[in-house]
Amino acid sequence: MLQITVINASEKHLEFAQQICNEMEISSLKRGTGIAKRSPAYIQEKILEGKAVIAFDEKNVWAGFCYIESWQSGEYVANSGLIVSPEFRNSGVAKMIKKEIFELSKKIYPNAKIFGLTTGLAVMKINSELGYEPVTYSELTNDEQFWNGCKSCVNYDILTSKNFKNCLCTSMMYDPKLKLNLVGADCNQPMIAINPIFKK
């Protein structure tokens, strides 16, 4: 049985930055979908900030990685750059990483809206299990720096042609305030679920 450990990335993991970037780019090319490119220096920066998780098997072979980005003074947070080494795919590693980075995000930014953009059905399913809901692009951060990160994506022309209101990626969000409202609802009253996609 595959034994995987997911931990907070630290200084001793800086050497994996180039490998992580390489796998991100190769994976994107194979899927034929867009991915915002990141440099090894940027990956190392996230590791040193304590905003990344990394996975290894029992033989200390690198298995995967993901990091946290934030915008608008921490009001919005994204779990970005999820990548799993080819030999560990389709084995539940991505789900383990997503869960760990999600919990780290809530710990560092307890009041933030955690969102993601993805073209991957598997990631959408994992997000849904974590409590994310589909939302329109208008629900996401309006920080220009975030959208600049899409410039290296092969689908950027589609995004700009739609005035940043839609693209091939599906947007999903976890809103802690919404979850708190649902948990605190009167159990004796019928609950009406509000899908964030229609709240504007």
154-167 in b/e form (b: 16+ CB < 10 A) is eebeebeeeeeeeb
Which stretches in the chain have pLDDT values below 50? 183-200
**For a pLDDT cut of 90, what percent of the chain falls above it?**
69
What gap in Å lies between CA 181 and CA 125, rounded to an integer? 23
Say if CB 112 and CB 77 are below 8 A apart.
yes
Q: What is the pLDDT of residues 150-159, one digit of tens each?
A: 887 888 899 9
- pLDDT at 190 (0 to 100): 39
114/179 Cα distance (integer angstroms): 12
The topology under which CATH files domain 4-198 is Aminopeptidase (3.40.630)
Question: What strands lie across the sheet with 133-134, from one edge to the other?
Answer: 4-8, 52-57, 62-71, 76-84, 113-118, 170-174, 133-134
Model pTM score: 0.82
Q: What is the pLDDT of residues 52-69, one digit of tens each?
A: 999 999 999 999 999 999
Residue ranges per structural domain of the chain: 4-198
Q: In Å, how far are 58, 168, 178 from 51, measured between CA atoms?
A: 23, 27, 24
Residue partners of 38: CB distance under 8 A and separation at least 6: 21, 24, 81
